[in-house]
Structure 1
């Protein structure tokens, strides 16, 4: 529940109060005035908002069954300034009192301990409630969250902690009260149990769109993605008419290069393949075998009156539960309209998928991810109750900057991963699908197309440097910080030409501030859609966490990873720098020192071994695996 990133009008002296029942433990860190210990293993019920400029820090609260920790967050700064290790099981009242930048902890009205005075100029309350992804989310239940604009006394805390407030109390800055049960606390799971599975199984989508205000404060909906093995007694071999149905689920312009090679390989091996795409907004089909059965969604929808059926489904079955949910959770205005739009789309996807599955009767559905298509997930599961249809997903990117929610793989029977690195990440997740490591079919295509050299070298007088964005500098402070390091460095380099490749999800307007300040020139923005063309014409690749920089490394381009404040994350796996001085030094050494280049190349090759298990022969190995999986015996 994001109310506001920071409540900056309250500085240095304020109070948090809340009732809480944690259901999982968190990491216990050392108390420190500096550092970034809060980036892993936390249970942030109030996530410390990023102060941004180093002179202001947001204060957050991590609570587990084993203790309470207070963190403050600004540029390259996320230390625990107060740490209490102790039993916090069951319902407890927590009060965090800040007096002139010093935190004090009260547990059930009793003073527990004093923390360290902040080294930052101003500390302010945070308005990020429930998670600081990917550093940790609270699992448990919450009631009666209050923020005061002053330091509450021990007497004030004791006298008022069990009282229901009016909201007009002197000094009460913010107050969130929930419907109470007999214990005077909210049990969200009792509300969830009143609703059908088509809502409960997709609460993550409501959270993603900011519709569900309280879901991340309760752990009850984090359900396992793993499915039970198919019952061999259910299999009716005569039911199947198609081997593989390819449905992107979510389409982006480079995704066809992950699935089309698999379609061609399946056809080559004598299997039948159907492909569902949009006619007027579809990926190009020129590289596909002419034996692939292409089905256009528009034609299917018209022929089977999908929209009319979906409208009936929505009005009759879905709308009553949605209306009840909105009343219970007080969802109104734009959020309610968004909720309704999501489930109108759900109805269309569900009817369309059921129609198509019934027509084709495939042994499996092959796609990228169906997180944004919950109606399709439920349709596949509907058929699988009587006859198994395997849902096979292909890894399409570096899932899991947020390590706690592998949403891209939701609904999968099995996920095909690129390398052991990704499997190790998946193994550490509390919610993970079945998976197998094979390789990246898109990378196999690019390797053949560009005839990549095995030895990295730079021989040109003018060095072309490509900067690849992982997200938007307008929206992501970490992305902005890493970009600023790059811009500071290139100002001091000569004989270079710079290209910037934006993430496909963001237009060039996300660089407007840099364009206005002439930090980036319009002709430096790569205009083509294919990032691999930009990689191919560049001598050095720089970026932070874009999938493309890791693929560039696999294509034997020298890659420098900027990780200014993220050096402890598992994704810093390539040669990396923390500041502009280090970046300048590495670029100059790559251009002039062959021994440095050889060492750099050796480190990079070792780094990518775990990222990409296989390049040559990937498509055939994946399709052999799929064929074996769908050959029901």
Structure 2
């Protein structure tokens, strides 16, 4: 029971609406989709006076409950296949605690009662079991979740299609504790939202990012613009990414190929002046940092020289992070196991230790991008890594022993089917346009172009694919939005290429502006990843070229200024 501490702690004028927010049943407030640093044991407390009824359903630990008529004070984030987010539906006739995962939306605590005046409510999660307290009195114990882990959510006021809360709400807190018998045991607060009648009077969704926080653009960066012995052996002496780029030919009328860099600047990334030029160029147009592709094959590094030189020379002064492109290298360039040139073997703990020791020197650089004291590390295809969870646990432990708060793992959502959501990933990033195509959302984007040989060439409509990107809500929790400049890999695959038709700097500015707004209002993300800075053989680049000059970079700057994300 909480009687004594409840009365001492909550002298909140509970009969007044002056300091409360009214939710009209058509809006919400997104603080954060889920907190992955807290799991299984935590506490929600709040004051509420609901204004409408909810549908009372049966308690369950499996299945999908009929959600019609629910009114969520906290909408449960999506926990994926193995885990679940926790949410709370409240009405004048009762309260329900839901959990949410893949094909999983049961009501694990249901209590029917009349709630027509200001009421203090606590939902205490202890070892995945919910306990309900009303006005400081223990009322009911719910069912224990069968999911691996439960996470708290921060979508206040509900969600469209599932049910918005209607009524007054104030003094909502999330505690990183499950107290035994008094408030003094609740020592660490995750967030507190006081509520106000002046807040959020319109019907729009509001993102609770700090107003001073600007969305940071990170561009994927390909290091294959220098010779390495392996490529010379496999593809011929002198091979770099420019080799394929130069030989591309148009496949249909007005097809933009070959792609020629501005002033024919076919640079070599082993030249420090080139790397400095790239960083200064990116910085001047508002790009926050580069995400270097990292190629590690059980102790064997490929294309590592540019990054090694960046570390060695301590220049350029420009933030960066790594994305482990953990596919085998093949002659098809697409991760197929046919004609494997460099196989991928993930090894055991000895190999993981060796890999981490290399990463450690990279993470130790002051320019390396970190979140909450954790170096971020993207993995392109975690689903093909045996013992991935175990490996990430091992690395996270090594990172903590090395003085960081752990590692911030980001799963890449791309064109390959997902088998499961791994528990150790704190976030996911949309790798576009591959992710949208993998979801099957752009099947209506295909167009037919007549080739020079009077054969048909199927292409994808740039505008249609972008429309699908901008219309989609995040499917997974903590999803970082993505953007693509253009895509055309004719330089690599010729007639078998995938071509997006219709891109222009003007369209790019418009779509990027909208995605920057969505980064805040939909994703609650401080990052947005762009594909890409210099993928010339795939037609995905921001660097200046002979046709458009610096127009795509100018569009980036204009979009940042327009959305108030440009940092002078």
TM-score tier, shorter chain, comes to 0.3 to 0.5
- Which TM-score applies when normalising by structure 1? 0.31
- The higher-RCO structure (CA 8 Å, 6+ apart) is 2
Higher relative strand content: 2
